[in-house]
Amino acid sequence: MKSKKYKSIIKKALKEDIQSGDITSLSIFKDSTKCKAQLIAKQDGIIAGLAVFKKTFKLIDKEIKVKLLYKEGQTCKNQDVIAEISGSVIAVLGAERVALNLLQRMSGIATFTQQFVKQCENRCKVLDTRKTAPNLRMLDKWAVKLGGGTNHRFGLYDMALIKENHIKAAGGIKSAVDKVLAHDKHQHPIEVEVTNLDELKQALNCDIDRIMLDNMDYETMAQAVKITAGKIDLEASGNVNLTTVADISKTGVDYISIGALTHSVKAMDYSLLIT
């Protein structure tokens, strides 16, 4: 991903953290003091966000050198040295927390995503959702891809997803779909959420691109796959976890969307140590 797409995210994060200056470092070090540091993984996982990590240091001080020893999406082991950093100690320590925060979050998402992908064993694709951290969606979804997942819609603007509240307010599935078609002229994909097989059959009679099976049990999802017979892609959704995802994938659905990939992130552990 080109840095100009996420540069503003880093700038805002740095401004939030530093503001008028790093009191501690400015008190202890001279402007000319240099240092060398290492980025060290403190657990096994999937590395995601190295480009963001590097860019954070460069935005603080373009003279800082960041040597990346791994590539995005690679697996690392506990205690592996991931990168080497050298430059002004004030600049390095000024960028440290923001660089680590973003790297840890992205790597946590990628690592968690890969666990779900492995459970599915290529039977279907693992999707993310819009349940991302505010203003970090671009990075969250990038991390999902680095972990082997697939991105769902990025926002309300690039896909019509007709959910329960839309259906109730519109007076039914067909009415909701017809209104979207009249307004958008099918310029964007249309997906409809259904909660039972009767609603599934209604949705199958509409001009749409995908059907979401919301909180169905395994048997009902398998029946939905049989009824659909490959006519349209099916997406399973609702409280999916590592215990249930393999069985869901065996029902024959095409996609499984998992909000937990980005809304319940456990950051991957890294340390930045001055050597």
If DSSP states are collapsed to H, E and C, what string results for 245-264? HHHHHCCCCCEEECCHHHHC
> How many angstroms separate the CA atoms of 253 and 125, rounded?
9
The answer to whether 142 touches 106, Cβ cutoff 8 Å, is yes
- Per the annotation, the verdict on 5 as an active-site residue is no
* Selected catalytic residue, list 34, 130, 163, 179: 163
Q: Which two tokens stand for residue 30?
A: 């001279």
> How many angstroms separate the CA atoms of 74 and 104, rounded?
14
* Selected catalytic residue, list 97, 123, 174, 201: 97
* Selected catalytic residue, list 34, 123, 131, 201: 131
* Selected catalytic residue, list 123, 214, 250, 269: 214
CB under 8 Å to 57, separation ≥6 — which residues? 64, 66, 85, 87, 91, 92, 95, 99
Residue 212: which of 131, 127, 137, 147 has the closest Cα?
A: 127
What DSSP assignment string belongs to 192-211? EEESSHHHHHHHHTSS-SEE
- Per the annotation, the verdict on 118 as an active-site residue is no
- Per the annotation, the verdict on 17 as an active-site residue is no
CB under 8 Å to 62, separation ≥6 — which residues? none
* Selected catalytic residue, list 140, 193, 199, 233: 193
* φ, ψ at 146 (rounded to 5°): -65, -25
- Per the annotation, the verdict on 158 as an active-site residue is no
Catalytic residue positions? 97, 131, 163, 193, 214
